[in-house]
Amino acid sequence: MEDRNITDALINDFAIRCFRDQGDADYIAARMAFRAALAMPSLWSSQQTIEKYLKCILLLNRIRGGNVGHDLNAALSLITKSACVSLDLSPATTSFIEHIDAFGRFRYLEVSRIAYGGHVISLDRAVWELRRYCTISEGPSSLKLRNGSLPPKYRIEGGFLEQVIDDGENAAHKPLLVNNAFLGKRRRRKVRARKWFCAENAPLYLNPQILDEILEYVHLPKGLIRAYRLHQKPD
């Protein structure tokens, strides 16, 4: 029994350090990308944040998720079907995750993309909601977001974000907390997000007839290849 307890503690440590802590760093990177109006980095870092938090939840609850890859919906489905943990996510967060799942996992403009500067607030909300479950403590997961009320504050003992919040000299302190209504010691009823919008068509969407030649030099996911073949323009 003692050996099992030690193993469980080591697995939990893996989940926290390899997924939650790395997701925390991706979250700060995503906020910086949003402020700089960088479409692809903001989408990709948001995707990585959510992916790592979901994988942390899967592992902490011993839900097998070895084939999830970058598919956020697959991770959410595994969590839901397991009945090990019930994620209480707002409709706004669910919608944001769907958007990121559609556009965030493609880093090379292999599909068209849409990004909004205001989505940084959606990211902040999603992090507040998902990160509650990235701990073995049951306290944070019992908290709720309520319309018209400020989000309750919670701390995860030893969390990377908590360390950044506490250290005003940390280079990531300001990027994490500026105009953040969900994290930090200040209570904010109003925040500002830089207004920008990016919609960009992928080269293969505009000219799918070059697909076969591209495949001689570049790797593309099989699902993406099938999709472009279905929509290929006639010669």
pLDDT for 157-201, tens place per residue? 999 999 999 999 999 999 999 999 999 887 777 888 889 999 999
Please name which of 186, 90, 185 lies closest in space to residue 143, comparing C-alpha atoms: 90
Of the pLDDT bands very low, low, confident and very high (cuts 50, 70, 90), residue 233 is: low
Please give the Cα distance from 156 to 230 (Å, whole number).
Answer: 47
Per-residue confidence (pLDDT) for residue 67, from 0 to 100: 85
Query: Is residue 232 scored above 80 in pLDDT?
Result: no
Please name which of 1, 183, 161 lies closest in space to residue 9, comparing C-alpha atoms: 1
- For the segment 202-209, the average pLDDT, to the nearest whole number, is 93
Q: Would you state the torsion angle of the CA atoms of residues 101, 103, 108, 112, taken in this order, to the nearest 10 degrees?
A: 150
Please give the structure tokens belonging to residue 145: 């977001």
- pLDDT tens digit string along 10-55? 999 999 999 999 999 999 999 999 999 999 999 999 999 999 999 9
DSSP 175-230: HHHTT-SSSSSS--S-------EEEE--HHHH-GGGHHHHHTT----HHHHHHHHH
> Between the CA of residue 131 and those of 76, 102, 190, 194, what are the distances in Å?
14, 21, 22, 24
Tokens 């209570």 -> residue: 187
Per-residue confidence (pLDDT) for residue 74, from 0 to 100: 94
- For the segment 192-219, the average pLDDT, to the nearest whole number, is 94
- For the segment 72-98, the average pLDDT, to the nearest whole number, is 93
The partner residues of 198 in beta bridges, in order of sequence, read 115
> Which residue did the predictor score with more confidence, 139 or 50?
50
Per-residue confidence (pLDDT) for residue 138, from 0 to 100: 83
Query: 15: part of which helix (H) or strand (E)?
Result: none
Please name which of 43, 134, 37, 39 lies closest in space to residue 96, comparing C-alpha atoms: 43
